[in-house]
Structure 1
Amino acid sequence: MNLDRFTHETERPARRYEYDDSSVVAVDFGPGADATVDLVDGTVIVVLEDDQFELELPEATADAHTFIRNGVLTVELEADQ
């Protein structure tokens, strides 16, 4: 996952949390951020005002869930078993 490049492009703080069978990525776009998120073919696409950012997911990801709440993008990844 190209999280370093993604956070550099967006200039937003991000964290990655690793668990036994999954991981979670959280990126803070700030409160009131008018952002939307979509997941297309292993790519997380975030549209923030007039900008679009993409985050490629690892190939070993079996399932991913994305959402934005209170300006925080959350990507939940489940690893292949």
Structure 2
Amino acid sequence: MTLEQFTREEGQVARRYEYEDSTVMAVDFGTEEADASVDVVDGTVIVVLADDQYEIELPETAENAHTFMKNGVLTVELEEEL
């Protein structure tokens, strides 16, 4: 599921920031979800919150995805291939 599909279906607040050589996506799951885990597998960000799992597909042009969660906010940093 893409970021736009994910936020529309799940009701999350998300933003996407485009820079010259990178893209940053942020999804706010809320502070009650601060203990979530996140990983990237084969171009998909997988977020596990308690008993729920969410998957967000990354763009095919994305290289070197870096993910982290802080205070319930998922941040995905993507380096674009030039």
Which runs of no fewer than 5 residues in structure 2 stay unpaired?
none
Aligned residues: percent identity?
Answer: 65
Matched, 1:27 2:52: no
Normalized against structure 1, the TM-score is what? 0.92
CA distance, structure 1, for counterparts of residue 63 and residue 74 of structure 2: 19
Contact preservation (8 Å) 1:10, 1:53: no
Moved over 6 A (4+): none
Q: Deviations for 1:4-31, whole angstroms, at most 9, x for unmatched residues?
A: 1111233210000010110100000111
Aligned match of 1:47: 48
- How many pairs are equivalent? 81
Which runs of no fewer than 5 residues in structure 1 stay unpaired?
none
Normalized against structure 2, the TM-score is what? 0.91
Please state how far the C-alpha of 1:32 moved relative to its aligned partner: 3.0
C-alpha RMSD of the superposition: 1.3
In the TM superposition, 1:57-72 aligns within 5 A as 57-72=58-73
CA distance, structure 2, for counterparts of residue 32 and residue 67 of structure 1: 16
Contact preservation (8 Å) 1:17, 1:24: yes
